[in-house]
Amino acid sequence: MEGKFKKGKQIQTINGKTVVVEEWLAEGGQGDIYRILYGGEEKALKWYKLGKMGKTPKAFYENLKNNVLKGAPSDAFLWPLDITSWEENSFGYIMDLRPEEYHEMTEFMLAKVRFKSYRIAVDAALNIVNAYRILHNQGYSYQDLNDGNFFINPENGKVLICDNDNVAPDNVETGMLGKPRYMAPEIVKGKGKIKPNYYSDLFSMSVIIFILFCLNHPLEGKRFLVPALTPARQEVLYGTKPLFIMDEDDKSNGPDPVIHRNSILVWECLPGYMKDIFLKAFSQTAMEKPGTRPREKDWLDVLVRFRNDIVRCRCGNDVFVSEEGPCTCEKCGKKLHIPYRVQFDSYSIPAFPGNRIYRVQLGICDEAKVLACIAGMGVSKKDPSILRLVNLSSKSWNVTNREGKLVKIRPQEAIRIKDGINLEISTEIGTETVKIIRNDAAK
């Protein structure tokens, strides 16, 4: 067995419980991870290495202790459940074990694990953004957001966020600056004088989303491909002169046609609104003025739209569709049949099996309901050629067809998708109207 502790080692926690070490699992940058028994249940223990608790270990401990007492912001976090007493100038904290069906994000980056579909990758991005939105809205900043923070289920896009020991009230110093390549430019060039906060979290989160979709770091273009990436060059690349790999005005850090081939192919297929938010997130303005970076709500708005603009061809290929013209699968060459679209205030989405209407698409809402699924689209069991919209909310809808006839659709009931239907969807603050329109691009 590797690690500091042997099997059977017992350690006391601040809650008066006894941790019993079962086995060593892994070594991280800050410490070792063990499988333990805690209150008769199997859990994980992260035990810190000496010198890996920041510049102020006592303050780091007290902050972590406060996080334990406050509890997890949401079930997306593998939050500290308990913290041990000090032993030999160090300590550890207890958290839930990672379920076997969840994989490290680095496995996706190295193509060792693949998402079930591109739409599931978007679900993962949605879950990441929403988790940090909840965290930030509770007054925390994560302060060390990087590719090692996530466990992702490739089948459904669900996410578990680990390494929550650096989480602290926003602008409260924990002694940690972050992981190289994921720190915001102001943190890199500040050299310890500027502390991680909400805005640096936003930058790091944008890096994660770009990597999820394009499989490359947004700042690692041609400038990254040098014989020796010295500390001085890294400071330029990530701090003093960062440049987006897809920058439209300065191509000096653009993608290499061979090494970044996959990134180029994905970028070319992305809808304009997705390109726009990446261009804003990694613009020179956002690099220099952190307050101009896209917020979580901005990301959620485009991601729920993007999820619905990804449809699966019969050949199994995921296709990005748009409002502008007919949609053809680039793999099999066949035209996708999308006769109708669902129209919101400023854009529409294709009416296609598996698509959803989210609460965030219906105007201002309670923060707990942002990603609530209001409606789902699927085919009739009796006739697969009939596409239906199912009411997944807790309230009835008033539906008017093109002839002016009014019907009420109760929760779990469905209506056939046809041109000219107006849906009045009741929300907690009022009523929003959604229309079914004919897809002119399908002609």
Q: Are 85 and 116 part of one and the same domain?
A: no
Encoded tokens for 118: 């591109």
Residue 4 confidence (pLDDT): 84
Mean pLDDT of 2-8: 87
For residues 162 and 98, is the Cβ–Cβ distance under 8 A? Answer: yes
Quote the pLDDT of residue 190: 87
Q: State whether 85 and 182 are in the same domain.
A: no
* 410 in the same domain as 331: yes
Q: Which of 42-56, 67-81, 355-369 shows the highest mean pLDDT?
A: 67-81
pLDDT at 238 exceeding the cut of 70: yes
Mean pLDDT computed over 30-36: 92
Helix axes 272-281, 198-214, angle to 10 degrees: 140
Which domain, by its residues, includes 294? 103-299
Rounded CA-CA distance 103/113 in Å is 8
In a domain, 1, yes or no: no
Stretch 335-354: mean pLDDT? 92
Give the end of a domain, one of 79, 95, 111.
95
- Residues 143, 220 within the same domain: yes
Rounded to two decimals, what is the model's pTM?
A: 0.93
| 39 in any annotated domain | yes
Q: Residue 53: pLDDT band by 50, 70, 90 thresholds?
A: confident
- Picking from 48, 68, 95, the residue at the C-terminal end of a domain is 95
Please tell me whether residues 146 and 245 are part of one structural domain.
Answer: yes
pLDDT for res 437: 94
Average pLDDT estimate for 353-376: 88
**Cα-Cα-Cα-Cα dihedral of 436, 438, 441, 442, to 10°?**
110
Same domain for 135 and 86, yes or no, is no
Instruction: Give residue 431's pLDDT band: very low, low, confident or very high (50, 70, 90).
Output: confident
Is residue 52 located within the same domain as residue 152?
no
Rounded distance between C-alpha atoms, residue 48 and residue 166, angstroms = 13
Report, as an integer, the average pLDDT of 396-422: 92
Identify residue 160 by its one-letter amino acid code: L
Structural domain includes residue 318 = no
Average pLDDT, the chain: 92
149 found inside a domain: yes
Q: Looking at residue 403, what is its pLDDT?
A: 85
- pLDDT for residue 135: 96
Residues 82 and 127 in one domain: no
Query: Where does residue 112 fall: left (phi above 0), alpha (psi -120 to 50 degrees), or beta otherwise?
Result: alpha
- Single residue among 95, 117, 148 that ends a domain in this structure: 95
pLDDT tens per residue, range 273-328: 999 999 999 999 999 999 999 999 999 999 999 999 999 998 999 999 977 666 88
pLDDT at 227: 77
Q: Residue 355 is part of a domain; what is its CATH number?
A: 2.60.200.20
Look at residue 321 and tell me if it is in a domain.
Answer: no
Strand partners, 430: 427
The Cα 336–Cα 314 span in angstroms is 9
Same domain as 69, residue 143: no
pLDDT of residue 29: 77
Structural domains of the chain, count:
3
Band (pLDDT 50/70/90 cuts) for residue 443 is low
In terms of domains, do 260 and 111 share one?
yes
